[in-house]
Amino acid sequence: MEIIQENVNGVEIFSVKGSLDSNTSLEFESRIYSTLENGQKRLVLNLENLEYISSAGIRVMLKTTKDLKRMDGNIILCSLQDYVKEVFDIAGFDGYLSIEKNLDEALQKI
């Protein structure tokens, strides 16, 4: 897994490439929570190059969403491949998580 992190107009963008599973989710969670500890409350997860996600990866996203809601923050997922979006749909998390078609729409919404 590769994570590219950048800040655009006060929004922290995490672009994830590869697999987000039990082997990589701890690193991903650590990077996100380091950002939250530094005061960032607006996150976009660009999943355009995410090839696989397991329940461990989904757990990180759900936990982050819950924590950000308590902090009056926001997180948006964007650019999901069809097979990754299907995982969220089947699990029923598509109604709980904010998902946009692309990065531009996510940045406008946040």
| pLDDT band (50, 70, 90) for residue 43 | very high
Q: Quickly list DSSP for 38-73.
A: TT--EEEEEEEEEEEE-HHHHHHHHHHHHHHHHTT-
pLDDT in tens, 19-34: 999 999 999 999 999 9
State the residue range of the domain holding 16: 2-109
CATH code, 9: 3.30.750.24
Q: Under DSSP, is residue 100 helix (H, G, I), strand (E, B) or coil?
A: strand
What pLDDT score does 91 carry?
81
Provide the number of structural domains found in the chain. 1
**Rounded CA gap, 108 and 95, in Å?**
19
**Rounded CA gap, 74 and 67, in Å?**
9
Is it the case that residue 8 has pLDDT exceeding 80? yes
Who's near 92: CB < 8 A, 6+ residues apart?
Answer: none
pLDDT in tens, 44-91: 999 999 999 998 998 999 999 999 999 999 999 999 998 888 888 888
How far does CA 108 lie from the centroid of its chain? 16
**Rounded CA gap, 28 and 11, in Å?**
17
